[in-house]
Amino acid sequence: MRSYSLGDFDAVLAIGRRGSFRAAALDLGLSTSALSNMIAKLESQLGVRLFNRTTRSVALTDAGRRFIEQVSPALADIHQALDTVRSQQDTPAGTLRINTFATAGREVLGPLVLECLKRFPQVRIDLVTEGNLVDIVAHGFDFGIRSQNLVPSDMIAIPLGPARHHAVVASPAYLAERGQPRVPADLAGHDCIRTRLPNGALFRWQFEADGQPLQVDVDGPLTLDEASLARIAVLASVGIGFFMESDVREDIAAGRLVRLLEEWTPPLSPICLYYPSRRNPPAAFRVFVELARELARARAA
């Protein structure tokens, strides 16, 4: 008698959801080759192809589409039953998957993620940082961390701190040579580190004047897509940078960077941990929510 694993069926759903073996493998914590071998074995056991795949694309076959339609409700019931059992654990254990963006990931890594691992050694956390906003349920995540204004209305949200701010900064050496901009329009006469967004567009620096938003297209010798790289460039006096305040707060306090145009940077929504309502969530899920609420209370005090 042939045997099938729950992981096989989860893999099929992940590929169908993502339309890519590579993206599904990342969601599942597998290598692409391991996932491909798993599906090939399952198709061999079933005697039917579930996916048509080429070097450039993946598409469900008719059989694969019917398989997903019929197996999805059953898998949801099975996972709910597993959640119910895991909710009775005395010791929180298992893996939590969290989707966020890089800046927020840096903000919560120490006080939330690493603190959870320290308190509950049998918990594992898979933290995925990406610029694109995703449906955390459809992509198999337990939690998301995003700006409050981006949290879907049907999710439970826990603000993890006060309002945030952008920070425009430059090194003392750069300012000594080039002078200090006094208003956003002055940036036209300066070298700025430009930022490329995940969709390929260049980020326009965000300011506020008399309560009205103001966007500035800056120019400069270097374009990057990661804040940690931009920080290195600004510290090296290549130009002026635009960051989340949390990414450069220590540099400002130490005098390595000078904050500019502060009165032009309005407060932003706080970041939130958010998640769907779940009946009988696993113990690891519950303690992570409790730890997030603890962090929120501490930061609000």
Query: Which stretches of the chain drop beneath a pLDDT of 50?
Result: 1
Instruction: In whole angstroms, give the CA distance from residue 179 to residue 177.
Output: 6
Single-letter amino acid, residue 158: I
- Can you tell me the distance from the alpha carbon of 111 to that of 129, in angstroms, rounded to the nearest whole number? 17
Q: Supply the mean pLDDT for the chain.
A: 89
- CATH architecture type of domain 6-86: Orthogonal Bundle (1.10)
**pLDDT for 254:** 97
pLDDT tens digit sequence for 54-104: 767 788 888 888 888 888 888 887 777 776 776 666 688 889 999 998 888
SS3 174: helix
Q: Which amino acid, residue 60?
A: L
Q: What is the pLDDT of residue 86?
A: 63
pLDDT of residue 87: 61
What is the reported pLDDT for 182? 95
Q: What is the pLDDT of residue 1?
A: 47
pLDDT at res. 181: 96
Per-residue pLDDT at 81: 77
Domain covering 94-162+269-300 in this structure, CATH number = 3.40.190.10
* Range 164-268 has CATH code 3.40.190.290: yes
DSSP 148: G
Taking the mean position of all CA atoms in its chain, how far away is CA 4? 32
The ranges assigned to domains in the chain are 6-86, 94-162+269-300, 164-268
Cα distance between residue 137 and residue 277, in whole Å:
11
Which residues, in sequence order, are CB contacts of 6 under 8 Å at separation 6+?
75, 78
Q: What is the spatial distance between Cα 78 and Cα 212, in angstroms, rounded to a whole number?
A: 51
Residue 153 is given by DSSP the state T
Q: Parallel, antiparallel, or unpaired: how do β-strands 241-244 and 156-159 relate?
A: unpaired
